[in-house]
Structure 1
Amino acid sequence: MMRAAVVESEISDSKLPMVIIGLLFFIFGFVTWLNGALIPFLQTICELSAFEAMLVASAFYIAYTVMALPMAAIIEKTGYKNGMALGLALVALGALVFIPAAYSRMFGIFLLAQFVVGSGLTILQTASNPYIVRLGSQETAAVRICIMGLLNKGAGIVAPIVFAVLVMSGISGISTVELDALSPLAKEAKLDELAGQLVSPYLGMALLGGILAVAMLFAPLPDIDEGVVEGQEGTTVTLGGLMKFPRLVLGSVALFFYVGMEVIAGDAIGLLGIQAGMDTADAAVLTSYTMIFMVLGYLYGTAVIPRLMSQQTALLISAILGILFTLLVMTGSLENTALSAASLSLLGLPEVPNAVFFVALLGFANAMCWPAIWPLALDGLGKFTSRGSALLIMGISGGAILPPLYGHFADTGDGQAAYLIAVPAYLFILFYAVKGHKMRSW
């Protein structure tokens, strides 16, 4: 009862800042999970292999590795609020780059646009995650991140649907078989027509991002005190200094594997849907299925942490479920839809093959990884918090490396069997939950 009262009191005291940061989490959730719809769409209009299509995710997530430390340095100089405004401005700029990419159908320009958007989200993530962790006590940090995650993944449910309405509406005949049946000229015209559908939505996104960047400059966000842990007085914050914290370094590796699997479960689910015979329009909304289960996972986390279980126990359960669901993806049917017929269809959602259903269930397994790893990794960092957050953000590069690796195995073998790469990823997360987060020295 005491812990429940603490949670309610902290949420009440930090209500307005949480609302503002929650809006940010919704925004970068929307932008991030557009990739799930964008990947099969670009695979079609740019005529890409599975490996090439997953480079869409790579260009987006590699920005986190390249830009994390520079963005952390900017935040240290400008403060969290101004850093968030800069992040929103970069997202708006990246959205504008999508316009020439759509008109030219040049895959390289699409990748550049993704990198710019990813750079904007890097500074947003670097600023907002430690901000939420520091808004209250350490033991309730996962609850606050869960609340943010509900907004983030709620946006992930909405984003593919909005994409389908704005981009795919009124366009028919876009399955691979139907496109291949057209003459070369007719096919080019159809692909140009599809690409042109991207212009208006991304122009609107750019305008909204610019408006929000200006608004953030005037948002009533209080400064947070990172504090100085005993023994840190006069210490210069350097990358080498961060290496003294095993729980931080191992936490970044755990995030690397988690984000890689989150992206594969959310963005590559459409590729498995296409392998199962679904057309591009239907496959483009499959990310919403994964996000639905992630939202359920966040609701579960909000309800049980810290009332019924600790953050590390939730992470342990997530890792075990990840291994289990991965094995079921690899052995599930690509024709039988019994599981979704008994569950998702009750919500009015179309049925999907069992193997695809288990990919969506990975969303539930993944949900508690991010909220649990952040507070465990940042515990006791004091003045190292900002740069430590940047190191954790660099772990997001797993979303740049593991998805193309999955795409390579899917191209050269079987899209189901390629999910085997998830097993070592979840095993490392399991290690971090059991031992890694406890390590105070090497």
Structure 2
Amino acid sequence: MNVTPTGRTAFRPMAICCALFFILGFITWANGTLIPFLKIACNLETDLQAILVTFASYIAYFFLALPSSWILKKIGFQNGLVVSLLILGLGSLIFIPAADSKSYALFLTGIFIQGSGMALLQTAVNPYLSIIGPIDSAAQRISIAGFFNKSAGILVPIIFGTLFLKDAEKVTAKLEATVDIVEKNAILDKLITRVHTPYIALAVIFVLFAIFLKFTKLPPVDVDAEEEVDESADKTTVHKQKTSVFQFPHLFLGALAIFFCVAVEVMAGDIIGIYGRELNVDRFFVTYATAFTLACMLVGYIVGIIAIPKYVSQQFALRVCTLAGILFTSLSVFTTGTTSFIFVALLGIANSLMWPAIFPLGIKGLGRFTKTGSAIMIMGIAGGAIWPLIYGYLKDSLNIDFQHAFLYAMVPAYLYILFFAVKGHKAGK
């Protein structure tokens, strides 16, 4: 492992990982702003249609995670990072013709391509971050990187919210009052071209950072050489008999935990804008809704950086977070107005330490199967694609009250994560 003699993580790879997590956060949480913006700009009829933004982004992980593992084996970790950034740049550029043609399908294509780039990036950077230092402090390192990830997520709704949604109420009112098709199209044309400058800028940044990474020396970590550890033994034991990734049940239980972890993250971070609009809270809260959730996640990350593993274990932090998630969800459903909105935002604290704890627990002890196991874990990110659609279906198609639909979607997810925290991570050990 690339660890200093004192057991500390090397600074350079940690700094690179933090920068990459910032990029991941910026693109991922842009969806929170794109959902209400594209609903207006592409003249969509329902929230369920608009939520396809998150579906297009997160479903890419399901299809591209395992191929990403194969790509990384062929071209190497560092070249994989470079390629992932170039793919992100390509996805960003597709927004330009999508805006010019007002094509929602083309927007979704660009978002899917961005998701493909992020799948490759996540498959590479997460196991690297987990093993560049002691495995028991992996949650601490992921929390530090997550701090940068969610900092980007806070900036996105502030920047994009100002650029895209600064006069959303006036535009919506004007569209509703306009009968003439030509005039309505002119309003939409002017609105949708707002994506040009920011997404061209993003494409340029991704390409420049890819060039920087290409010529930056990163110390290698051979994950295939890592030992497989038996937690049930008093001493570390090297297992020679494991011949298949399917012999690690805790991995697949962990992937499902990641599925539900990302599901509740997206529900609290992206769907909060729709939730706030249904609550009729002030437009300020709706415009910057995602930023409130991510600010709460930053608080949770700070706690994780300080407490793990010095004061609490990864497993204990995960249990506390799931119980807090159930509590805040229940309180959001049985309150109204701004109070209910605040409890949804507080889910950011509950969700903050879930990924940092679940991922290292899921890949722990995989040895030469770490790359494949990481890809399987990354496939779980598809939870962010599926769960918002389930919420939209409950709310729009089954006509269930939006708060009760939120409860039905969130609580089962938290209960499974609690199971993984208590028992699932020990399976097969």
Correspondent of 2:41 among 41, 45, 52: 45
Correspondent of 2:152 among 142, 148, 155: 155
Instruction: Find the counterpart in structure 2 of residue 415 from structure 1.
Output: 402
Deviation per CA, 1:66-122, whole angstroms, max 9, x where unpaired?
000001101111111110111100000000011111111211111101100000000
Letter in 1 for 2:10: S
Deviation at 1:361, TM superposition (A): 0.8
Instruction: Find the counterpart in structure 1 of residue 321 from structure 2.
Output: 318
Equivalent residue runs for 1:248-287 within 5 Å:
248-277=251-280, 283-287=286-290
TM-score (norm 2): 0.91
Letter in 2 for 1:426: Y
Instruction: Find the counterpart in structure 1 of residue 234 from structure 2.
Output: none
Deviation at 1:308, TM superposition (A): 1.1
Instruction: Find the counterpart in structure 2 of residue 397 from structure 1.
Output: 382
Letter in 1 for 2:296: F
Q: Does structure 2 retain, via aligned residues, the 8 Å contact 1:41–1:284?
A: no
CA–CA distance in structure 1, aligned partners of residues 315 and 273 of structure 2? 32
Letter in 1 for 2:357: A
Correspondent of 1:425 among 410, 413, 421: 413
Deviation per CA, 1:371-412, whole angstroms, max 9, x where unpaired?
000111111101100010000000000011001111112223
Q: Does 1:246 align with 2:249?
A: yes
Letter in 2 for 1:268: I
In terms of mean alpha carbon deviation, does 202-211 or 392-401 score higher? Answer: 202-211
Q: Does structure 1 retain, via aligned residues, the 8 Å contact 2:279–2:336?
A: no
Letter in 2 for 1:205: L
For the structure 1 residues 148 and 179, does the alpha-carbon distance in structure 2 shift closer, same or farther, using more than 3 Å as the test? Answer: same
Instruction: Find the counterpart in structure 2 of residue 35 from structure 1.
Output: 31
Q: Does 1:361 align with 2:349?
A: no
Instruction: Find the counterpart in structure 2 of residue 302 from structure 1.
Output: 305
CA–CA distance in structure 1, aligned partners of residues 282 and 171 of structure 2? 5
Deviation at 1:60, TM superposition (A): 0.3
Letter in 2 for 1:306: P
Q: Does structure 2 retain, via aligned residues, the 8 Å contact 1:64–1:122?
A: yes
Q: Does structure 1 retain, via aligned residues, the 8 Å contact 2:165–2:287?
A: no
Deviation at 1:26, TM superposition (A): 0.4
Letter in 2 for 1:30: F
For the structure 1 residues 359 and 282, does the alpha-carbon distance in structure 2 shift closer, same or farther, using more than 3 Å as the test? Answer: closer
Gaps of 5+ in 2: 228-237
Deviation per CA, 1:237-275, whole angstroms, max 9, x where unpaired?
xxxx22211111000000001101101110011111221
Letter in 2 for 1:414: D
Q: Does structure 2 retain, via aligned residues, the 8 Å contact 1:40–1:283?
A: no
Q: Does structure 1 retain, via aligned residues, the 8 Å contact 2:254–2:420?
A: yes
Instruction: Find the counterpart in structure 1 of residue 231 from structure 2.
Output: none
Equivalent residue runs for 1:31-180 within 5 Å:
31-48=27-44, 49-169=46-166, 171=167, 173-174=169-170, 176-180=172-176
Gaps of 5+ in 1: 1-5, 335-352
CA–CA distance in structure 1, aligned partners of residues 121 and 21 of structure 2? 9
Correspondent of 1:190 among 162, 187, 211: 187
CA–CA distance in structure 2, aligned partners of residues 325 and 7 of structure 1? 41
Q: Does 1:18 align with 2:14?
A: yes
Q: Does structure 2 retain, via aligned residues, the 8 Å contact 1:68–1:123?
A: yes
CA–CA distance in structure 2, aligned partners of residues 267 and 163 of structure 1? 14
CA–CA distance in structure 1, aligned partners of residues 417 and 214 of structure 2? 37
Instruction: Find the counterpart in structure 2 of residue 332 from structure 1.
Output: 335
Q: Does structure 1 retain, via aligned residues, the 8 Å contact 2:164–2:194?
A: yes
CA–CA distance in structure 1, aligned partners of residues 285 and 189 of structure 2? 20
Aligned-pair identity (%): 44
CA–CA distance in structure 2, aligned partners of residues 281 and 54 of structure 1? 21
Q: Does structure 2 retain, via aligned residues, the 8 Å contact 1:254–1:428?
A: yes
**1:416 alignment partner, SS class:** helix
CA–CA distance in structure 2, aligned partners of residues 435 and 321 of structure 1? 18
CA–CA distance in structure 2, aligned partners of residues 144 and 264 of structure 1? 25
RMSD: 2.0
For the structure 1 residues 85 and 280, does the alpha-carbon distance in structure 2 shift closer, same or farther, using more than 3 Å as the test? Answer: farther
Deviation at 1:8, TM superposition (A): 12
For the structure 1 residues 313 and 282, does the alpha-carbon distance in structure 2 shift closer, same or farther, using more than 3 Å as the test? Answer: closer
- Count the aligned residue pairs: 411
Deviation at 1:17, TM superposition (A): 1.1
